[in-house]
Chains A and B, each alone.
Chain A
Amino acid sequence: MAITLSENAAKHVRNFIAKRGSGVGLRIGVRTSGCSGMAYKLEFADAVGSDDLQFASHGVTLLVDPKSLPYIDGMELDYTREGLNEGFRFNNPNVKNQCGCGESFGV
């Protein structure tokens, strides 16, 4: 049971949190939403919740609520650049289908 960041993604997250000036880590989760059933949640975390599962990856604390974990267990987050655009890519082994752009997925 784990969620990880690529080294490059961790470097960016550390940088973002430092510039933001506060935050204990990154909150990752899923919500039921979108055309294919589920959508990712990616937020700064200002506090650790009592139910939160914690993972450490390359010096970054990842917080996941227990209900979300089954959908994203084994996932790796990468940070990539596509042309002018850049951002986080979710490599989720649980995904069975996803919408065209991948913002919404099903398991």
Chain B
Amino acid sequence: MALLQISEPGMSTAPHQHRLAVGIDLGTTNSLVATVRNGISVVLNDENGSALLPSVVRYAADGSVTVGEAAQAMQSEDAANTIVSVKRFMGRGLADIGEVSRLPYRFVDTPAADHKPGQGAGMVQLRTVAGVKSPVEVSAEILKVLRRRAEAALGGELVGAVITVPAYFDDAQRQATKDAARLAGLNVLRLLNEPTAAAIAYGLDNAAEGVYAVYDLGGGTFDISILRLSRGVFEVLAANGDSALGGDDFDQRIHCWLLEKNHLSALSPQDTRLLLTHARAAKEQLTEHGETHITAVLSNGEVIDNVLTRSEFQAMSQNLVQRTLQPLRRALRDAKLGVADIKGVVMVGGATRMPQVQHAIGEFFGQEPLTNLDPDKVVALGAAIQANLLAGNRGGDEWLLLDVIPLSLGIETMGGLAEKIIPRNSTIPTARAQEFTTFKDGQTAMSIHVVQGERELVSDCRSLAKFELRGIPAMVAGAARIRVTFQVDADGLLNVSAREMGCGIEAAITVKPSYGLSDTEITRMLQESTQHAQDDMQARALREQQAEAEQLLEAVQHALELDGGLLDQAGREKIEARMVALRDTLQLADHLAIKRAATALNEATVSFAQARMDKSVASVLAGKNISDLEVKP
């Protein structure tokens, strides 16, 4: 007969209706699956008792696919067909991937036009002996193995899964992750930020309130999140990180050290992989031991035999550890908190086992970091708790989950300025609306340009999408009311809609950018926004003044054409002279000069405007008696 699990009070499921749900940590280096069993979150092991599935996929010529340790074992021999760290390619174009020449793969930069459906336009593809594979397909192979493992362990089909992604994954990368899950036959209940998942695992188990930092140094990505836990509510106050920094980089340092020590250069992909495998083993050894032997035989028969001490390793990797502190400071600044406000530091990711990392973080925060949950498993454990909740296996004490968006979202306004609609670090899901209007008389269409970034000028931000709202009734400039709504769902995907409030015409777009934005780019964009804050302010003032002046010139020109007859020769010449003067200042990058010229023009048109007003009032009143003009209640 079936094996039963203990449910929460009142939550027993009907027979054959178990809502089996899992949490999956789809990692750069390793992947895990966990579930809540008998009220406790546990990681599910494979037949051999190992929890970690190496995120390695190998394609063979006969079309067969191996995943995990078996594939990892073939890394050195069959580097081109053995895909490691595929997460780095998710939702990315070839141009987004650094150090392409150092990777042993045959990349195919697929033009957006002939991408496979559902695989993300413009995403880089990998040529293997079994054909061209997209990162989505490779990730799906990893997810399939985890799904089979979970279904064997739970004895039934899964209702769904919560899959974790780095906090900094953008829409394209999140979408690619969802596509991979769908391809693996998994129903995604939700994508969850990795640090948030870790906080769930820790927060619920320890029931501690306060502000915490989650320091997640995984195989390939570094994330720092500042979270507030109170009465079971998790709020991410700030998130920062570096997508090109992780345990792999420490392996790389040892690898470089080996090359230098042995005077090697230009190794084959196989030898590179071999040495990296040994470098990783050495790194893990040095967590427990003071020194380690590295021995390997290269394909040309050359023998490598070196001793690496912990202090040597710490010296060569010191700046990697230091590099994690910069995003840490930025996150604290974003959260408007100091080191003293942090009640505890949660360590996530296998790389946080390195003594030098724990030491540096302990020193930075002035307290020992928390390591009482397995740093490799904590994300999956938290995801499982969330999956269990979303599958409806818990009653009552549900908690809210708040994530933040990494970069501000907004639209382009007149003069190439970026108007922020959702500021960065807003919690999601969220919806914000703002009203805009037309710039010209009789304008019947409006182009909505959705941008992402912190800079004032659109040209410095990232363009996400463009769409048009057509069919706006012809009105004078400024009379139309166009409501632009930004909606970010729980998975971080953006929906933008525009609606003309008068007649109700509407246009909308879901943003699925074809190219991902790397964390390093996000970091760069954030840095630039602070570095250029002063310039940006000047530029904004200038553009605003220019747009305003242009609008004024247009309005005056229009009025002159219609009612020029109301002016005498001198009045007209005065206005025209000041228009010329204003046009001339537009060329200058001096917003104050433009403002002065615009004010001058305005002054010159006061009596003209008065005359026009009188004329239009007279035409309205002509032929009517006073009773017709009474305001009806």
Contact = CB atoms under 8 A, between A and B. Distances in A.
A88 B6 contact: yes
Chain B interface helix/strand/loop/mixed: loop
B152 A85 contact: yes
Interface stretch (B9-17, B76-84, B247-255, B303-311): B9-17
Interface in A4-48: 12-13, 16, 19-21, 26-27, 31, 33-35, 39-46
B3 A39 contact: no
Contacts of A52: none
B1 A103 contact: yes
Contact of A12 (B14, B38, B44, B46): B38
A20 B45 CA distance: 21
A103 B12 contact: no
B152 A46 contact: no
Nearest to A41: B12
Contacts of A21: 207
A88 B15 contact: no
A84 interface: yes
Contacts of A71: none
Chain A interface helix/strand/loop/mixed: strand
A69 to B, nearest CB: 17
Contact of A103 (B7, B15, B38, B207): B15
Contacts of A45: 9
Given A33-B15, A43-B12, A85 B153 contact: yes
A96 B256 CA distance: 70
A13 B15 contact: no
Interface in B111-158: 149, 152-155
A42 B7 contact: yes
Interface in B551-591: none
A44 B2 contact: no
B295 interface: no
Contacts of A19: 39-40
A87 B2 CA distance: 8
16 contacts: A12-B38, A19-B39, A33-B15, A34-B14, A34-B16, A35-B16, A39-B14, A41-B7, A43-B9, A83-B152, A85-B153, A85-B155, A88-B5, A99-B15, A101-B1, A104-B16
Given A40-B4, A84-B47, A89-B1, 5 more contacts: A19-B39, A84-B46, A84-B149, A101-B1, A102-B2
